[in-house]
Amino acid sequence: MRIMVKIEDQVGNARRAYIDNEVTLGQLKAALIDVSNYPQTDSQGRKLHYELLVNGQTRSDDDSLDDITDGAVIDFRPQMFAGGGGSTVAPPSLETIRRLTTANIEDARVFLSYRRQETEDLCGRIFDRLSKDYGQKQIFRDLNSIPLGVDFKGYLQKVINQCAVMLVLIGMEWIAIKDESGIRRLDDPNDFVRFEVEIGINCHIPIIPLFAHGAVMPKLQELPSTIQQLAYFNGISIHSDPYFHSNVDMVVQRIDQLLKSRN
């Protein structure tokens, strides 16, 4: 089983990593020192010694992450440095370099539903951002994610059913886009976007509408009866820079809550 580890610095910047929950705290500590370029010595060249505290309590390097309750707060910090005259407590300015929160993400998925004609670029940005937070394999985006030679409807049903959340991008023309014959796409029972939203509603998974380019939630009567429930889901507007990341931060916070609730 793998777990999500949220790494947060002192000013609130966060990133996520995915690791085996069977590793020991000592192995986790060594990996963090290696990948995060933590200092090996202080300004005087004395070797730094790091400790891990779980919910404020010192734990052994031999303890497994599997023994730590989901949601535990782990403080990772230099404790001592060894000099010629013995060990000395590390200066306060170096304390609590990172904070980590564990959460089980074995079956976590985020499903992105969008129309290429109007929100492909924005969907790409959101996909890239969420991939950095959760890893690309945790984000499902359109038919490019479906293997060749499979029943795509059955595959979508399976994927969406195991999702923690569905994000539905709604642009200015989302409700009105028509096909080559002049029929509104949402009125076609085989329309992919309609089909995805129908599955999400029927599977009772949380749906977060993302309103792009100034769009708003369509009126109830504008939606096909099979997806009218979409109108009752609370959404958020996603703006371009300089507000893009702060908008998506709010979405990520909600996704984090939903991932934890599945444990």
pLDDT at residue 94, rounded to an integer? 36
pLDDT at residue 74, rounded to an integer? 74
The first and second tokens of residue 18, run together, are: 């995915």
User: Does the pLDDT value for residue 178 go beyond 90?
Assistant: yes
Q: Where in the chain are the domains?
A: 2-104, 110-261
Mean pLDDT of the chain: 81
CA distance 161 to 111: 10
Q: What is the mean pLDDT of residues 46-75?
A: 77
CATH class of 2-104: alpha beta
257 in helix, strand or coil?
helix
Using 50, 70 and 90 to split pLDDT, how confident is the model at 252?
A: very high
Using 50, 70 and 90 to split pLDDT, how confident is the model at 82?
A: low
User: Does the pLDDT value for residue 132 go beyond 50?
Assistant: yes
Tell me which CATH code domain 110-261 carries: 3.40.50.10140
Question: What is the value of pTM for the model shown?
Answer: 0.69
User: Does the pLDDT value for residue 80 go beyond 50?
Assistant: yes
pLDDT at residue 92, rounded to an integer? 40
Task: Return the percentage of the chain with pLDDT > 90, whole number.
Answer: 41
Task: Report the candidate in 87, 88, 142 with the shortest Cα–Cα distance to residue 117.
Answer: 142
